[in-house]
A = this chain, B = another copy of it.
């Protein structure tokens, strides 16, 4: 599709994505994909080299705007998602953050009260100005029917990177920190709740139509720890954001198990609940969808594999959620090796034309 910037551009969206967040269901579900802007796209790989580091790229409004719009141009998704990273929040709190190519993020690990005291008391919004400029530019370039989604990491997920200093498979460093230094962690989580409210509020001000909170690493926590470090901070974040910005549209994506997903859906106050790859669509249609609109949950590995199996499972997800509000998405981010043709196949299938 053509993305048409300029004087006639919309300042807010009002398409099927927004209607679905409002609990409406009409025809085929709207569609976007987590990490839809990024390395699997040849046009992204072409511009990636124009900034030195990944953070430089995120903080370059021209490049970040282009990366955000690329998947909209190619696939006509119903929503664009800001090209950025959840670790810009620790960065704007004063923690050293870098991305080594092919190795993921690297932070100066936060391990003591002294490390915590060195962080800023509030988010430095000035350091994030290029992000808000990107949001403005993207919104001005999008058609009215296409929503723009801003985002942040949930406090626990961001804290797990801040404590470990890197991505970890089971969040051992952060979970051990939670057992050994619960008061310190509580202070860090409180700081992140406030910083996230400031950050999302400013994204809305710049033109975001909705935001998604990613609690990608909540799933490794035992239930009592999850309640304290995962569900409670996210619930507080949403409440505080809505106090400042009533009607803010909010999606929560949390990789938690089914009994906790029910509690999350029932209490956090989000407009929609993102479903992880492992959630059973039939179960979620009966248990979660009656509480809140759902988003998800195709396995990114199946999108990578493609073939007839992809169509079968897409159809199964569409059918499971056909009775209520549903945003079609993956159950986790798209993988860099995913063939573009497979995404095209998915788009056709969801739209009923393939």
User: Does A172 interact with chain B (Cβ within 8 Å)?
Assistant: yes
**Residues in chain A within 8 A of chain B (CB atoms):** 169, 172, 175-176, 179-180, 182, 219-226, 257-260, 277-283, 287, 297, 299, 301-302, 304-305, 307, 309, 313, 316, 331
Give chain B nearest CB distance to A329 CB in angstroms. Answer: 14
Q: Are B309 and A179 in contact (CB under 8 A)?
A: yes
Give chain B nearest CB distance to A172 CB in angstroms. Answer: 6
Q: Are B283 and A259 in contact (CB under 8 A)?
A: yes
Q: Are B277 and A222 in contact (CB under 8 A)?
A: yes
Q: Are A301 and B223 in contact (CB under 8 A)?
A: no
Cα-based distance from A180 to B310 in the complex (angstroms)? 11
Look across to chain B and name the residue whose beta carbon is closest to the beta carbon of A177. B305
Give chain B nearest CB distance to A296 CB in angstroms. Answer: 11
Look across to chain B and name the residue whose beta carbon is closest to the beta carbon of A331. B222
Give chain B nearest CB distance to A132 CB in angstroms. Answer: 34
Q: Are B176 and A278 in contact (CB under 8 A)?
A: no
Cα-based distance from A281 to B307 in the complex (angstroms)? 41
Give chain B nearest CB distance to A351 CB in angstroms. Answer: 22
Question: Which residues of the partner chain B approach A280 to less than 8 Å between Cβ atoms?
Answer: 223, 259-260
Look across to chain B and name the residue whose beta carbon is closest to the beta carbon of A304. B176
Give chain B nearest CB distance to A22 CB in angstroms. Answer: 28
Listed A/B pairs (13) with beta-carbon separation below 8 Å: A175-B301, A176-B304, A179-B302, A179-B305, A182-B309, A219-B278, A222-B299, A222-B302, A222-B331, A223-B279, A223-B282, A224-B313, A258-B258
Cα-based distance from A297 to B222 in the complex (angstroms)? 9
Max count, chain B CB within 10 A of own CB: residue among A223, A224, A331: A223
Q: Are A176 and B257 in contact (CB under 8 A)?
A: no
Q: Are A176 and B313 in contact (CB under 8 A)?
A: no
Question: Which residues of the partner chain B approach A219 to less than 8 Å between Cβ atoms?
Answer: 278
Q: Are A278 and B180 in contact (CB under 8 A)?
A: no
Cα-based distance from A214 to B307 in the complex (angstroms)? 32
Question: Which residues of the partner chain B approach A175 to less than 8 Å between Cβ atoms?
Answer: 299, 301
Question: Which residues of the partner chain B approach A180 to less than 8 Å between Cβ atoms?
Answer: 305, 307
